[in-house]
Amino acid sequence: MQMHDILQQNPELWGIFTCAEEYGTAFRDGYDRFPHYMSNHREPFEPRASQYLVEQGYHPEYPDGQPFAVCLTHDIDGVYRFALSKGYATLSSLKNGALAGALASVRQLRSKKLPFCNFREIMALEEKYDARSSFYILALAPGDKDYTYDVRDLEGEIGMIADAGWEVGLHGGHRAYCDPQALVAEKRRLEGVTGRPVVGYRNHFLRFRVPETWEHLSHAGFRYDTTFGYADCVGFRNGMCHPFKPYDLRTGREIDILEIPLTIMDGTLDQYMRLDAGKAWEVTRRLIDATERCHGVITILWHNTYMEGEWLKLYENIIRYCREKGAWMTSGENIADLAD
Ligand SMILES: [Zn+2]
């Protein structure tokens, strides 16, 4: 029996799964996101829809009998040293003019050299635990909001990531989630560098509209999205810790794209929930354990700018803990391959 048929038997869970409350005139924040604080679904740490699926006999399998999966992901919002050393909050608070000026001077200085990136360090850490991951790269044009680097300057790094068996996906810009033309232009720009189809997606700032963004991504030719999570709270936005095909309540039809729901973003723990690294680890472990019980997939978003100090230690704790549990730690693309 299909996932949708099982969930439809439980009207309350079907409402949570389909995000019925997000349709129509639901309140949206300054980035056009539906925040958890407006949701009637008050148990974000419990994957209720997935638990129900498992009770009804749903049991996904992973390579080599691994008990559950971890989708490791990185959004690349900045790659220059000035951005990394000052942290993303500072970067994003710079006025556009100041940022453009700073970027121009950095690019002038390093015009023939690779920008400072910590991709290799991240990959080496993951390799140590037999893990792979996805890197979502911005492919914006000069003048676009948050154009902090040019994707063409990363050609060497992007080739290195892909050749090593990690994934390069698109990090859609501020308009991409609601503007199909911007979305397609960014996808083409990135594919001009990768030389192969880009199948994975996450939008910058987790900007997302149910169900429109899924429809746009499907039409643009993406195979999966992993934006769908709350910016202001970690956990299971629609009660799911399994990848799923979204259902459009307006058309009454399934949308042809796989959603690998986002469970934990570093900035959500730190900036929105105001947790220190110790508290953040407690919540994270709870969500990992819940995912393990459902044989699910937990998606972790760690920015390259969070790979230092106690937040780097927390990231390593996550992958060490999941390695000890025998989890399959891999990219979104590999998880999408399995779902086909
Ligand atoms: Zn971003």
Q: Give the pLDDT score at 340.
A: 75
Q: How far is the CA of 65 from the centre of ligand 1 (A)?
A: 34
Instruction: Average the pLDDT over 308-322 and give the result.
Output: 96
List of E strands, 289-331: 297-301, 328-330
Ranking 34-38, 84-88, 259-263 by mean pLDDT, the lowest is 84-88
Kindly indicate whether the domain formed by 3-11+45-339 is annotated with CATH number 3.30.428.10: no
pLDDT digits (tens, 9 = 90+) for 61-106: 999 999 999 999 999 999 886 444 444 434 444 445 555 555 555 5
In order of 10, 133, 303, 335, the CA distances from 44 in angstroms are: 18, 25, 22, 23
Q: Give the pLDDT score at 114.
A: 44
- Provide the mean pLDDT of the chain: 91
Q: Give the pLDDT score at 287.
A: 98
pLDDT digits (tens, 9 = 90+) for 270-313: 999 999 999 999 999 999 999 999 999 999 999 998 998 999 99
Q: For residue 211, is the peptide bond before it cis, meaning its omega torsion is within 30 degrees of 0?
A: yes
Number of Cβ within a 10 Å radius of residue 93 = 11
Q: How far is the CA of 139 from the centre of ligand 1 (A)?
A: 11
Q: How far is the CA of 60 from the centre of ligand 1 (A)?
A: 30
Q: How far is the CA of 66 from the centre of ligand 1 (A)?
A: 31
pTM for this prediction: 0.91
**Per-residue pLDDT at 38 exceeds 80:** yes
Helix (H, G, I), strand (E, B) or coil at 135: strand
Q: Give the pLDDT score at 105.
A: 53
Q: Give the pLDDT score at 48.
A: 98
Contacts of 89 (CB under 8 A, 6+ apart): 271
Which element (helix H / strand E) includes 162?
A: helix 155-163
Task: List residues bridging with 171 in a β-sheet.
Answer: 138, 202
Q: Contact, 208 vs 177, CB < 8 A?
A: yes
Q: How far is the CA of 2 from the centre of ligand 1 (A)?
A: 34
- Integer-rounded Cα Rg, in Å, for the chain is 19
Q: How far is the CA of 197 from the centre of ligand 1 (A)?
A: 21
Q: Contact, 135 vs 170, CB < 8 A?
A: no
Q: How far is the CA of 303 from the centre of ligand 1 (A)?
A: 8
pLDDT digits (tens, 9 = 90+) for 152-192: 999 999 999 999 999 999 999 999 999 999 999 999 999 99
**Per-residue pLDDT at 26 exceeds 90:** no
Q: Give the pLDDT score at 53.
A: 98
Q: How far is the CA of 227 from the centre of ligand 1 (A)?
A: 10
